[in-house]
Structure 1
Amino acid sequence: MTSISARGESPTVALERFNKSLKGQALEASIYSLTSLLKRRQIYDSEPCAVATANLLLQVVAKSKATDVDQLLSQISTVGSRLVAAQPKEPVVANIVRRVLGLIRDEAEEDRNGNMSQSSGQATPTGTEPLTTGASTVAGDSFSTLRQALTRASTQTPPGPYSVPKTKSLLHLLSAAGPTDGSVFGLNLSGSSTPTSHGRAKIQTVRSEVIDGIEEIKDEIDQVDDQISANAEAQIRPGEYVMVHEPSATVRRFLLKAASKRRFTLIVVVHPSRQRTAGTVYADLGKSLAKYGVSTINVVSSGVTAYMPRVNKVVLGSRAVFADGSVLMDAGTAVIARAAKKQGSAVVILSGVYKFSPEIPFDEAALVDWGNPSLAVDYSDGDIVNHVTVENPVTELITEDLVDIYVSNLGVHSRDHLSNIIDEHYKQEDLEFYTAGDTY
């Protein structure tokens, strides 16, 4: 269920305000604005946080004054570190930063491979042939000196993945191995203006491609619900009893898609504090399902075990799916998942790939978010409230052994398949980007 922030607005409204502010605002002001919104929990939940992060990083890439790929990577890492520090309990923020870092690395690699292809047709000197310049031949001691310089330059290991490739033209080899003044045998090979121009053109090309890649990530997030719901017909069978917990927009879309092809009974579990408003919140869902002949039953969480013997399948949304298969979810889902496991009912997790995190949650307490305790205990109860500490969790973690199937925008996955998807979407060197220390 989407709650309301302390400011009195939904995260969607706060996201719209932030997106509008990006147009005429300085970059540093935009970074400060989003970190503040995340800290104050005005922008929260997976999708708004992911979209806000992608929009901000697009601005960073577009407005960055980086002159090479390494500088751009450093700036994105630093801004991403600030966002993660502002709200470490929203794993999708770090996921989007990693995706953008991966885009930059991929585009730089493609650019490097393109340069290698262009230079492959150029002649590369060998140590057994004399070097001729015009009508003159370099021989004897001069040739030995040049040959040693060429050998050193061609066998040196590049300092990083974006360095000049080993296959170089003679001009670059002489420049790399020659004296610091850029002259070799009286020829001025410094070429100081050419590398600078090439580097500027290269970073502009990478920047343009990365901006397009970020737009594709945003489109992916926007289309996730439709792509996940395409699997609904295969997951829900006619006559089944399906249980959900305060269904998110993704789960509602999934159920409506299934109802268009299947007839089943839906059991909606709600927290006791939201029992009064559940009828209003899910009224549209109930009416839409009723058009397809699907009946809906609203149940408070304390009655889960009574209904579970009839339940065939439990369908749950997620905030994040971790590398080990554990899932960060809204509070109240763990008891449903445990009851389903005990009863032998299948638990299906719906999650976009952008929520798949390469991390493993060793510290569960660090991920749990806490909300307004007055939703659990009414402060009008009097003296007892003044003598107890009330904690109202908003999220909780369920372990991987409680989950049977993961349904994403890429299809249906088992727990063992998650690592393959994560490896395809994140670079190993970006997994812990937020440990970098420089301030942007």
Structure 2
Amino acid sequence: MAPSQASHVPTLDGLIKSFNNQSLEASIESLIFLLKRRQVKGDECAKATAYILRQVVAKAKWNDVDQLLSRIASAGSRLARAAPLEPVIGNVVRRVLGLIRDEASEDRNADDIASEAASDIQTLTPATNPSVQPPQRPALPHRPTLSALSSGLQVSKSMFNLLSVAEPGDSPMTGASTPMSQAQPASIHSLRSEVMDGIEEILDEINQADDQIAGFAEIQIHPGDYVLAYQPSRTVERFLVKAASKRRFTVVIAGLEASGAGTEAPYASLRKRLNSAGVKTVNLASNGLMAYIPRVNKVIFSAKAVYQNGGLLVDSGSCIAAQAAHEYLKPVIALCPVYKFCPEDPSDEVSRGELGNPSDYVSYANGPAVGALDVENTVTDYIPPDLVDVYLTNLGPQTQHHLANILADHYKTEDTGFSLQLGEP
């Protein structure tokens, strides 16, 4: 049954706040419902997924690392199946799985070091090592000799002999009286806290990615440049506004057109901010793209996902702009945060593109007149890697040859082959 509170389009802050007031299962179902209705999409999917996974770590019942991995994989699979065309969901799930493996590996290494140290201490005690003899107490009627005093002094100073004196209730291995049944919950509590802190760091990375990418604007845009921005997203807008604070250039904005009379022109807010900073803007319809390509110096757009082979999932029409730039030898710059890097190759569905509602372009009020038409409204495009020159990430500019290193640094080998769509670990 669909949750009633999701009947309207919520803000991301309101959605996250509702997670804290609901049970874990109710929060997951609410997000699944919104994902299916496409009321949460794009960058919001990554943030909402991270918050849900943090709730799983905090509220779900698990007693060891394997159970925690299973809980995360199960919740992530449900979210991914609700929005199969949002690859950032799978990226965040894989990042969290890798985070858990790292934290568990560090805990195991610490336990191994502690057990080895305890074993070394035990082997040096007189009970197990015959070569180490305890000090002999001299007979009372006689005065102790100098050699006996020297031997007793050396043995009393030995840290190993001090540690070897255990109380009757202590463990023979470590000298501690805490049983394993009490140590295990402490280890789980520590792992839970560390994983939640790691997810907070992933959320900080997602929130700061656009500003970090904008920090490289001054390097990529030069004075006097003509920059073509195709359907500029929030990431591209911040990038251009940051560049406008240091450079004077011209932005050619191409993409969406006004849907009707009296409707505000698209990207009016961006044009206003750029004009106030002294940057000229030109509004360009999609059918006039080829006329301006020879004039521009570079083409910039944001990517919804970057696949293992370097291909991009982008808004519809961006592929035409990339192909035109490639023909005229104009550099193509894709703005893509690292959390959008997907460690898998694009599927056939991605290559074909997502289809939307065709009524945005063709009115079906006169049914018989358009009954014989088959109209497709492509919402997303796939850009092959040979059309992209620079991948500008929050870690800096990258080329196609360095993408494998980024994927290896952020994803575990055990998780790259994890099938999120089918829910198979």
* The two structures share one fold, judged by TM-score above 0.5: yes
What is residue 179 of structure 1 aligned with on the other side?
none
Say yes or no: does 1:332 pair with 2:317: yes
1:61-100 aligned at under 5 Å gives the runs 61-100=57-96
Are the structure 2 counterparts of residues 117 and 98 from structure 1 closer, same or farther at C-alpha, using a change threshold of 3 Å? Answer: same
Query: Residues 320 and 351 of structure 1 are in contact (CA less than 8 Å); yes or no, is this contact kept in structure 2?
Result: yes
Query: Residues 78 and 436 of structure 1 are in contact (CA less than 8 Å); yes or no, is this contact kept in structure 2?
Result: no
Are the structure 2 counterparts of residues 439 and 419 from structure 1 closer, same or farther at C-alpha, using a change threshold of 3 Å? Answer: closer
Q: TM-score, normalised by structure 1?
A: 0.79
Separation of aligned partners in 2, 1:26 and 1:439: 25
Are the structure 2 counterparts of residues 342 and 439 from structure 1 closer, same or farther at C-alpha, using a change threshold of 3 Å? Answer: closer
What is residue 263 of structure 1 aligned with on the other side?
248
Query: Residues 80 and 89 of structure 2 are in contact (CA less than 8 Å); yes or no, is this contact kept in structure 1?
Result: yes
Query: Residues 68 and 200 of structure 1 are in contact (CA less than 8 Å); yes or no, is this contact kept in structure 2?
Result: no
Which residue identity is paired with 1:64?
Answer: A
Report the alpha carbon displacement of residue 260 of structure 1 after superposing the two structures with TM. Answer: 1.2
What is residue 3 of structure 1 aligned with on the other side?
none
Are the structure 2 counterparts of residues 243 and 18 from structure 1 closer, same or farther at C-alpha, using a change threshold of 3 Å? Answer: same
Say yes or no: does 1:35 pair with 2:6: no
Separation of aligned partners in 2, 1:286 and 1:438: 44
Say yes or no: does 1:322 pair with 2:319: no
Choose the corresponding residue for 1:50, options 46, 49, 57. Answer: 46
Residue-by-residue CA offset, 1:328-385 (whole Å, 9 max, x unaligned) = 0010101000000001110000011110111111424477322221112122354232
Say yes or no: does 1:26 pair with 2:23: yes
Q: TM-score, normalised by structure 2?
A: 0.82
Query: Residues 81 and 421 of structure 2 are in contact (CA less than 8 Å); yes or no, is this contact kept in structure 1?
Result: no
Separation of aligned partners in 2, 1:272 and 1:336: 16
Which residue identity is paired with 2:45?
Answer: C
Unaligned runs of 5+ in 2: 1-5, 131-171
3-state SS, counterpart of residue 380 of structure 1:
coil
3-state SS, counterpart of residue 48 of structure 1:
helix
Are the structure 2 counterparts of residues 219 and 277 from structure 1 closer, same or farther at C-alpha, using a change threshold of 3 Å? Answer: farther
What is residue 410 of structure 2 aligned with on the other side?
425
Separation of aligned partners in 2, 1:307 and 1:438: 47
What is residue 294 of structure 1 aligned with on the other side?
279
Among the aligned pairs, what percent are the same residue? 48
Query: Residues 214 and 238 of structure 2 are in contact (CA less than 8 Å); yes or no, is this contact kept in structure 1?
Result: yes
Are the structure 2 counterparts of residues 284 and 315 from structure 1 closer, same or farther at C-alpha, using a change threshold of 3 Å? Answer: same
Separation of aligned partners in 2, 1:89 and 1:438: 15
3-state SS, counterpart of residue 283 of structure 2:
strand
1:252-401 aligned at under 5 Å gives the runs 252-272=237-257, 274=259, 280-365=265-350, 368-401=353-386
1:118-197 aligned at under 5 Å gives the runs 118-123=114-119, 194-197=179-182
Report the alpha carbon displacement of residue 37 of structure 1 after superposing the two structures with TM. Answer: 1.1
Q: RMSD over aligned Cα, in angstroms?
A: 3.0
Report the alpha carbon displacement of residue 402 of structure 1 after superposing the two structures with TM. Answer: 0.5
What is residue 163 of structure 2 aligned with on the other side?
none
What is residue 13 of structure 2 aligned with on the other side?
16
Report the alpha carbon displacement of residue 314 of structure 1 after superposing the two structures with TM. Answer: 0.3
Are the structure 2 counterparts of residues 65 and 239 from structure 1 closer, same or farther at C-alpha, using a change threshold of 3 Å? Answer: same
What is residue 172 of structure 1 aligned with on the other side?
none
What is residue 412 of structure 1 aligned with on the other side?
397
3-state SS, counterpart of residue 122 of structure 1:
helix
Query: Residues 334 and 390 of structure 2 are in contact (CA less than 8 Å); yes or no, is this contact kept in structure 1?
Result: yes
Which residue identity is paired with 1:79?
Answer: A
Which residue identity is paired with 1:38?
Answer: L
Separation of aligned partners in 2, 1:272 and 1:283: 12
Separation of aligned partners in 2, 1:275 and 1:346: 34
Are the structure 2 counterparts of residues 293 and 438 from structure 1 closer, same or farther at C-alpha, using a change threshold of 3 Å? Answer: closer
Separation of aligned partners in 1, 2:288 and 2:418: 44
Query: Residues 230 and 318 of structure 2 are in contact (CA less than 8 Å); yes or no, is this contact kept in structure 1?
Result: yes
Separation of aligned partners in 1, 2:216 and 2:263: 27
Are the structure 2 counterparts of residues 385 and 196 from structure 1 closer, same or farther at C-alpha, using a change threshold of 3 Å? Answer: farther
Separation of aligned partners in 2, 1:354 and 1:233: 23
Separation of aligned partners in 1, 2:104 and 2:185: 13
Residue-by-residue CA offset, 1:232-266 (whole Å, 9 max, x unaligned) = 01101111110011211110010011111111111
Residue-by-residue CA offset, 1:31-68 (whole Å, 9 max, x unaligned) = 111111111111111x1000000010000000121001
Residue-by-residue CA offset, 1:248-290 (whole Å, 9 max, x unaligned) = 1110010011111111111111234658788534222112111
Choose the corresponding residue for 1:230, options 215, 230, 234. Answer: 215
Separation of aligned partners in 2, 1:326 and 1:439: 25
Are the structure 2 counterparts of residues 225 and 435 from structure 1 closer, same or farther at C-alpha, using a change threshold of 3 Å? Answer: closer
Separation of aligned partners in 2, 1:224 and 1:408: 8
Separation of aligned partners in 1, 2:129 and 2:89: 60
Report the alpha carbon displacement of residue 207 of structure 1 after superposing the two structures with TM. Answer: 0.7
The farther-off stretch of 197-206 and 299-308 is 197-206
Unaligned runs of 5+ in 1: 1-5, 136-186
Q: Count residues with an aligned counterpart.
A: 377
What is residue 198 of structure 2 aligned with on the other side?
213
The farther-off stretch of 425-434 and 204-213 is 425-434
Separation of aligned partners in 2, 1:55 and 1:389: 41
The farther-off stretch of 365-374 and 113-122 is 365-374
Report the alpha carbon displacement of residue 433 of structure 1 after superposing the two structures with TM. Answer: 2.8
Q: Which protein shows a greater Rg?
A: 2
Query: Residues 60 and 76 of structure 1 are in contact (CA less than 8 Å); yes or no, is this contact kept in structure 2?
Result: yes
What is residue 140 of structure 1 aligned with on the other side?
none
